[in-house]
Amino acid sequence: MEFDYPRVLFKNRKPDRVATLEEYRESGGYEALQKFVGGRVSPKEVIRLVSESGLLGRGGAGFPAGMKWSSVPDSSPFPRYLVANADEMEPGTFKDRVLMHVDPHCIIEGMVLAAYSFSASKGFFFVRPSYESSAHILERELEIARKAGFLGHRILGTDFSFDIVVHRSGGRYICGEASALLNAIMGKRPNPVKPPPYPTEKGLWEKPTVVNNVETLANIPHILRNGPEWFKGLSATGHGAGTKLYAISGRVSRPGAVELPIGTRFSEIIDEHCGGMAPGARFKACLPGGASTRFMTGEHYDIPMDFEDLKKIGNRLGTAAIMVFDHNTCLLGATLNLMEFFARESCGWCTPCREGLPYMLELLRRIENGEGREEYIPNLRILCKQVWNSYCALAPGAAEPVISLLDFFEDEVRQHISEKGCPFHAKAGH
């Protein structure tokens, strides 16, 4: 590639296979483990370094990783658990899958280090059904790590023991939500649970539990090996830290997952790393951080793709899954499609989401099908506001595309109503 950025998570990326333990070790893998766990460095020191690195959670909410670990009270009971969230069911998001297929050991090492920091003894990989291949890889590599003494009983001969199992999900978006995920692991219905208590105090089986995204965890060995300052220096902006896996899909020439300094400009991501828009396609809008972020228009084509910068324009980096739509895409259709997803995946716990999302879906569908009415637009706005006050973040996320559609493309929506049908329908094949 023409840009010479340091590659961290994708350092061992091979075009057609998973990096082996040896390859990972050659690139410095498990050195951090040797140094921190093998050398019995204080767990507090691990937390301090990670906190200092400014690593923000990569699962969508951007919560500081070090802070999460340190919120496990010292006095809290054992056993303690660590969960690597590899559910990744938000439409457009697939970076964790690529990561698991690229370099599983860097996630495993990250988990052991994270576990060490708050004395967890058991870890779970939470994997969705369509990622069976990832589950398969993980199970294979976990065994290899165990054999090498990096995992399991008395790691590296120390008195620290930690083992990881793969937990297969039955497949539902809500399972990715941290508290619902814990219910799912325990074999309960995966409804979310509002804190207090926080999972770091009472999680799995009422014991302290940390849930982290797999990308978050994969960063840990590198941070500990190279230091927080190095990590901060990776960022393309002054305020960010680390690299970021961006997953780009939709109407670009080369969709895929790329690792870039966090805060790389959107224009550079699309034009340089994805080969620009697909042939014949002009940029219309994108969802910059997964299905539950707001549409971003060409106005912000140059924006640095970092948590802070997107927050400034009222949007979110989310999972950094960028879905690109071109001038031929009916954004109402896209929103309708997203709403079908969210309404179908609502866990059914709370009223605004369970009833409100199908309500929005019905209105959007009618508009798309040419049965729309003017009053549907204000009604949709009210519904978006209503679902904002749902039990968990699923429904507010679901409202984001809708409300931004109305904010930026209300004319297009109105056109559907006045023309009694989709203006794009004739043009495009969908």
Ligand X SMILES: Cc1cc2nc3c(=O)[nH]c(=O)nc-3n(C[C@H](O)[C@H](O)[C@H](O)COP(=O)(O)O)c2cc1C
- The contact pattern for another protein, residues 245-274, with x = CB under 8 A and - = no contact, is --xxxxx---xxx-----------------
Interface with another protein in residues 388-417 (CB under 8 A): 389-391
Chosen from another protein, ligand SF4, ligand X, none, partner binding at 255 (C-beta under 5 to 8 Å by type): another protein
HSE, CB side, 13 Å, CA atoms: give it for residue 338. 29
Q: Which stretch binds ligand X (CB under 6 A): 135-143, 206-214, 353-361, 376-384?
A: 206-214
Taking the C-alpha atoms of residue 215 and residue 350, their distance in angstroms, rounded to an integer, is 30
Taking the C-alpha atoms of residue 357 and residue 400, their distance in angstroms, rounded to an integer, is 12
Q: Which stretch binds ligand SF4 (CB under 6 A): 121-129, 212-220, 262-270, 386-394?
A: 386-394
Nearer to ligand SF4 (CB atom), residue 313 or residue 393: 393
CA distances from 37 to 45, 46, 71, 72, 212 (A): 11, 10, 20, 19, 20
Nearer to another protein (CB atom), residue 46 or residue 127: 127
Closest CA to 255 of 323, 326, 320, 304: 323
**Which amino acid is it at 326?**
D
Minimal distance in Å, beta carbon 134 to another protein? 8
Binding-site size, ligand SF4 (CB under 6 A): 14
Cβ neighbors of 200 (< 8 A, separation 6 or more) are 68, 69, 71, 72, 73, 208, 209, 210
b/e map 335-349, b = 16+ CB within 10 Å: bbbbbebbbebbbeb
Contact in structure between 174 and 90 (CB atoms under 8 Å): no
With CB under 6 A as the contact rule, the residue among 21, 98, 145, 174 that binds ligand SF4 is 174
Q: Does the protein bind another protein through residue 62 (CB under 8 A)?
A: no
Nearer to ligand SF4 (CB atom), residue 77 or residue 348: 348
Minimal distance in Å, beta carbon 88 to ligand X? 4
Chosen from another protein, ligand SF4, ligand X, none, partner binding at 395 (C-beta under 5 to 8 Å by type): ligand SF4
Q: Does the protein bind ligand X through residue 176 (CB under 6 A)?
A: yes
51: number of Cβ within 10 Å: 17
Interface with another protein in residues 318-377 (CB under 8 A): 321, 323, 325, 329, 333-334, 337-338, 340-341, 343-352, 354-359, 362-363, 366, 375
Interface with ligand SF4 in residues 181-200 (CB under 6 A): 192
CA distances from 275 to 6, 20, 252, 342, 398 (A): 20, 30, 7, 31, 30
Q: Which stretch binds ligand X (CB under 6 A): 148-156, 168-176, 261-269, 399-407?
A: 168-176
Interface with ligand X in residues 44-63 (CB under 6 A): 57-61, 63
Taking the C-alpha atoms of residue 155 and residue 115, their distance in angstroms, rounded to an integer, is 12
Interface with ligand X in residues 376-395 (CB under 6 A): 392-394
Contact in structure between 175 and 169 (CB atoms under 8 Å): yes
Chosen from another protein, ligand X, ligand SF4, none, partner binding at 176 (C-beta under 5 to 8 Å by type): ligand X
Positions of E strands within 200-262 = 209-213, 243-250, 256-261
Taking the C-alpha atoms of residue 27 and residue 221, their distance in angstroms, rounded to an integer, is 12
Q: Which stretch binds another protein (CB under 8 A): 11-19, 149-157, 189-197, 308-316?
A: 189-197
Cβ neighbors of 111 (< 8 A, separation 6 or more) are 82, 84, 123, 162, 164, 217
Q: Where are the alpha helices (DSSP H) in 316-375?
A: 331-345, 351-368
Q: Which stretch binds ligand SF4 (CB under 6 A): 225-233, 285-293, 310-318, 385-393?
A: 385-393
Minimal distance in Å, beta carbon 214 to another protein? 12
Interface with ligand SF4 in residues 314-353 (CB under 6 A): 346-350, 353
In the block, which residue shows the tokens 């690529």?
98
Taking the C-alpha atoms of residue 155 and residue 179, their distance in angstroms, rounded to an integer, is 29
Residues that bind ligand SF4 (CB under 6 A): 174, 192, 346-350, 353-354, 390-392, 394-395
Residues that bind ligand X (CB under 6 A): 57-61, 63, 68, 85, 87-90, 173-174, 176-178, 211-213, 216, 392-394
